[in-house]
Amino acid sequence: MDAFFSLMHGFGVLADPMNIVYMFIGVFLGVLIGVLPGLGGANGVAILLPLTFSMDPTSAIIMLSSIYWGALFGGAITSVLFNIPGEPWSVATTFDGFPLAQKGQAGQALTAAFTSSFIGAFIATVVLTFLAPLIASFALRFGPAEFFSVYLLTFCSFVGMGKEPPFKVLSAMMLGFALACVGMDGVTGELRMTFGTVELLRGFDFLIAVIGLFGVGEILLTMEEGLAFRGKDAKISPTVVWQTWKILPKYWVTSIRGAIVGCWMGITPGGATPASFMSYGLAKRFSKNGDKFGTGELEGVVAPETAAHAAGTSALLPMLTLGIPGSPTAAVLLGGLLIWGLQPGPLLFVEQKDFVWGLIASIYLGNIAGLIVVLTTVPIFASILRIPFSIIAPIILVICAIGAYTVNNALLDISVMMVFGVIGYLFKKCNYPLAPMVLALVLGANAENGFRQAMLVSEGDMSIFFSNWLVGSIVTLALFMLFWPVISSLINNIKGKGGTPGEASA
């Protein structure tokens, strides 16, 4: 009840008209950042952070966090319309969002994505509001072994719970792990697989790889198929929005599961990107139409978007209560807090009550503002699809190149993007899944560091991964998911043998 009254106080802080203005400005900028491939919410917040130094800390954090919410919403737009993830966590949305756009149902896909994002954020904000003390103490227990177990759970769920052949999934994942190893060793500081070149010291950036694999790869594939830009008849209207809203309630289990996964990955912290992949994999496994995922299933859009927005929102919880950022954007926001003289931690809720609860209240209103903004501005982006592909393709390539360049301000990254584009084209031609490779590329280095640090702590004793109930339960669940195809096959065989005598006697 105290949290409820504190939240009402936060809404009172937010009642300042200028805070509302800053919120809408942040959402608009965030949607623009989300649409531009490679820029990202973290980069956008970092670029605009200096502009807020002269502002009141409460107003500044409201504006910057609204940029984040807008980026979460905006990343779905190019994912659905162009098969180019505007944000890393929008990769999983392309799997079914873009096929829906090709079928002329882009409006439905976008409405489902935006609404699911809102639902995920709302659930995560409720968690942030009422369960902060409990979850903060829980997150304190995480060490290297626990972090690695979370990553292992993500990888195993893709191998064991997916529909693709395990060999292809493992092959793609191994390539992703190899690419993630390029650069400086995070534990020893030694160089690996740089082949004596200075340019490879920083390794392969995930955003550049994603832009190439999905953006350039899709353009190359479309060019081969006749320069026809698929989905140009996409429309969105109040009728489409209302019809989609009537369909979405039947996916309530998927939404709740995605929100739980998102909150878990945001708090631990795993991040919005693995949360979206994990939620998509679970939905694909347990859905009645799981075999149709990847061909344009609305449920395949609901699952990753709900999880991504829930993770992005819940990542603020450990940042505010413990000073542990749950995402790159939360890390940038943490830097802003320190610059403004605010020390994140339990005392922040006592000493800076207006700031904390004003921020939490802004999350509720900011996501409502974001939903309104994206639903009203999507027609502008949908109209782009009416432009002939021969005109829009070079524009997309230029946007991709700009996005790749802005990551590190290096011309070499544009060449790297093109190489990944060819890889993406070859993967699609050979029917190899891109998602496992992307997942391994983004999480490979963190998983390796977590594993090696755990081994250093335990002096090489593997039992550290079963040293307590928390890490043991996560690893056990991961192994169960990994071997689920074998387990389910054995269960089916036992059932089959058990049914034979009864069938014979009948």
CA of residue 499 relative to chain centroid, distance: 44
Distance CA 115, CA 240 (A): 13
Residues in CB range of 384: below 8 A, 6 or more apart: 81, 392
Distance CA 128, CA 165 (A): 39
Q: How many beta carbons lie within 10 A of that of residue 310, not counting itself?
A: 35
Distance CA 115, CA 95 (A): 18
In this structure, which amino acid lies at residue 314?
A: S
In this prediction, residue 506 carries a pLDDT of 38
Q: What are phi and psi of 183, to 5 degrees?
A: 115, -145
In this prediction, residue 413 carries a pLDDT of 83
In this prediction, residue 111 carries a pLDDT of 85
How far are the Cα atoms of 198, 210, 483 from residue 420, in angstroms, in the given order?
A: 20, 8, 31
Q: Where are the alpha helices (DSSP H) in 248-352?
A: 252-267, 272-286, 299-314, 316-322, 328-339, 348-351
Distance CA 402, CA 411 (A): 10
ω before 269 within 30° of 0 (cis)? yes
Chunked into runs of 10 residues, the chain (506 residues) has average pLDDT values of 69 77 84 65 64 74 79 77 72 84 81 87 84 59 78 77 75 88 77 75 74 76 61 60 84 89 75 80 81 82 88 78 64 70 68 75 83 77 60 76 75 86 86 79 80 87 85 86 80 70 44
Asked if 104 and 295 touch (Cβ cutoff 8 Å), the reply is: no
In this prediction, residue 40 carries a pLDDT of 59
Rg (CA), the chain: 23
Comparing C-alpha atoms, which of 104, 179, 134 is closest to residue 439?
A: 179
Joined together, the tokens standing for residue 69 give 């919410």
In this prediction, residue 498 carries a pLDDT of 60
Asked if 437 and 97 touch (Cβ cutoff 8 Å), the reply is: no
In this prediction, residue 232 carries a pLDDT of 40
Comparing C-alpha atoms, which of 282, 293, 314, 273 is closest to residue 75?
A: 273
Three-state SS at 184:
strand
pTM for this structure?
0.64
Joined together, the tokens standing for residue 294 give 């990847």
Three-state SS at 191:
strand
Residue whose structure tokens are 């162009």? 82
In this prediction, residue 83 carries a pLDDT of 75
Q: How many beta carbons lie within 10 A of that of residue 147, not counting itself?
A: 21
ω before 133 within 30° of 0 (cis)? no
Distance CA 479, CA 153 (A): 8
In this structure, which amino acid lies at residue 372?
A: I
Distance CA 295, CA 280 (A): 14
- Tell me the HSE value of 470 on the side-chain side, using a 13 A CA sphere: 13
In this prediction, residue 505 carries a pLDDT of 41
For every residue of 353-382, DSSP letters joined together read HHHHHHHHHHHHHHHHHHHHHHHHHHHHHH
Residues in CB range of 494: below 8 A, 6 or more apart: none
Q: Where are the alpha helices (DSSP H) in 340-468?
A: 348-351, 353-382, 389-408, 412-429, 435-458
Roughly what angle, to the nearest 10 degrees, separates helices 144-161 and 435-458? 150
Q: What are phi and psi of 192, to 5 degrees?
A: -135, 130
Q: Where are the alpha helices (DSSP H) in 16-165?
A: 17-35, 40-48, 57-82, 91-102, 106-130, 132-139, 144-161
